[in-house]
Structure 1
Amino acid sequence: MDPKMDPPRIGFIGAGNMAFGIAKGILSGNVHPVNVKVSAPSLRNLGRFQELNITTTHSNTEVVCSSDVVVIAVKPHVVPLVLNEISQHVTHRHVIVSVAAGVTLATLEELLPLGSVVIRLMPNLPCVVLEGALLFARGTCATQDHGAMLRSLLHHCGLVEEGPEAWIDIHTGLSGSGVAFVYLFAEALAEGAVKMGMPSALAHSVASQTVLGAGRLLHDSDKHPAQLRSEVCTPGGTTIYGLHALEQGGLRAAAMGAVESATERARELGRVSAAAGNRK
């Protein structure tokens, strides 16, 4: 395709949360539902796309043949099967965008026709509310214009950045999985308030707003998190006592370890997918 084409036709193979989040984001831009199509083997997840007036199908090849940009949004171990199915229908006009955790550009390019334009993208769930964090890396045949096209397509989804492929698995651990880490922390905050006597519904509402407000302040200021944290603390006050308890519980090390573990798992999934691809 001409990467400057406006608007491109978008196809999704896979109808999970990531596909839905990206679809909602791009529909907030200049893409009309008539230019989007989604495939999945069952009806289970297709209903919510139909509510967005997006055409759905059970045929992956139908999606490829009627799209310019094809988003591969299936589980990593399914990617080789899907690419094997659609490969003969992929042409030089297509841009193949994979959001499968761990599946490398090399694996994708090996399973597609020579010269295919491939981009590896890692979004996260807050794309659904247009507050996602997305990082992409371009394959061998993907140009800067293709990257610019993808940025334009996704910018309503949230923060969109480009980087080397080595960062994608790290981004998976930091932001893809990190969303769940934040939810766990918010839950723990609320349960702490419940322990101290606050009603559960109120505690969870306040915890949600606390995380939202802290995130917005961090995003909008140019300050390092440590500086913002220090601004909340007063000598001998409540916050420094609470922070001391968190340090005693190993929160910082546990969070760093969680990102590391999730990153390593993403890399492991990539190795498994590559091995599966080599067997094709």
Structure 2
Amino acid sequence: MSKAKRSKQAADVNSCKIGFIGAGKMTQSIIHGLVQYGKVDPKRLHVAAPSPNNTDNLKQQHAGLKVTKRNLDIFGKFDCDVIFLAVNGNVIHNLYKLGGTRPAPLTTNFIPNMKHPFYVLSLISGYEIKALKDVLLNPEHPDKYQMEMHRIMINCAAAYGLGVCAVDVEPDSKKLAEVVRALLSSVAKLEYIPETQMDAACAVCGAGLAFSYYFINALSDGALKIGLSRASAVKFAAKTVNCATQTLLESGKHPNELKDEVCAPSGGAIYGLSILDKADVASGISGAVEAAHKRAISLAKDDNPQ
């Protein structure tokens, strides 16, 4: 295909159709962010999920959004340009179990040979792009697809246009299509992470967002205990964590170095840190990240994840 012809057919960020396979919290967050901050018309959004539990809510929240129970419709009937794969790894694992020497397709059949370039973004932990292509592309003619595929990690802060998104290529390079870059950038800050490290990034940045809210809540509980109102306690706890984040990124210093800069001899900070050390809080936080990573991999690889 000539560059001129490909450019003419390529999706445009202002008109592309966007599809989601899976309707869980990640899909909901991305959709909310795209509508509110990316100014995407809900009529351009399409979601496939076997149950109406989440899709009914999405339709109510975003008038015009289209839903289906068939994954194939995202590629066929709806003919989407940008597709997010947002199911857990157990879905892919089951396809490999069913298929024997080759996995069963994620769609009813393998996706059709679409007549335009399209872009697939996988949020599925535990599976590399090669394995995902095997459940999508017709093995009879896998090279005929005009597909660009990436593994990404994006956290739920995307719902507020404040997400962090790891991409398996340099975001500013020609390896990432402009339409993909523009959509993701409207809800998140883009960072490069090699595909081999994407599962780790999901644990620290995806699940880590929940751990951060947990810490902020605990910090505000302490402030409430000593007299601040709940509203003030939450606000100051959040602003303090934001200060820590910004100074860390701005200075380039190691967290331990900045921690020492805050602690005065015999001061309140060092006394408080001794309590955290006695409670082994650092080990608990590290363990939480490891547990999140282990769970994602077990969903992707175990026959009966518990």
Both structures adopt the same fold (TM-score exceeding 0.5): yes
Q: Deviations over 1:131-152 (max 9, x none)?
A: 11111226xxxx9444554222
CA distance in 1, matches of 2:105, 2:251: 43
2:54 to 12, 32, 45: 45
SS in 1 for 2:54: coil
User: Matches of residues 124-203 of structure 1 in structure 2 within 5 Å?
Assistant: 124-137=155-168, 144-196=174-226, 198=228, 200=230, 202-203=232-233
Flag structure 1 segments of 5+ consecutive residues without an equivalent.
Answer: 276-280
- Larger deviation: 219-228 or 261-270? 219-228
Match of 1:57 among 67, 74, 93: 67
Aligned pairs for 1:1-280 within 5 A: 5-7=11-13, 8-27=16-35, 28-29=37-38, 31-46=40-55, 47-59=57-69, 60-65=71-76, 66-79=79-92, 80=95, 83-85=106-108, 87-89=110-112, 91=114, 93-113=117-137, 114-115=142-143, 116-137=147-168, 144-196=174-226, 198=228, 200=230, 202-219=232-249, 221-272=251-302
| 2-structure distance, mates of 1:49, 1:235 | 57
Matched residue SS, 1:211: helix
Measured in 1, the distance between the counterparts of 2:280 and 2:10 equals 49
Percent sequence identity is: 31
Q: Deviations over 1:171-225 (max 9, x none)?
A: 0111111011112212222333344455555544443343344334444554443
Distance 1:224 1:157 in 2: 28
SS of 1:48's equivalent in the other structure is helix
Aligned residues: 270
Higher relative helix content: 1
Distance 1:272 1:54 in 2: 38
Greater CA radius of gyration, 1 or 2?
2
Judged with a 3 Å threshold, the aligned counterparts in structure 2 of structure 1 residues 40 and 111 are, in CA distance, closer, same or farther, namely closer
Unaligned runs of 5+ in 2: 1-5, 96-103
CA RMSD after TM alignment: 3.1
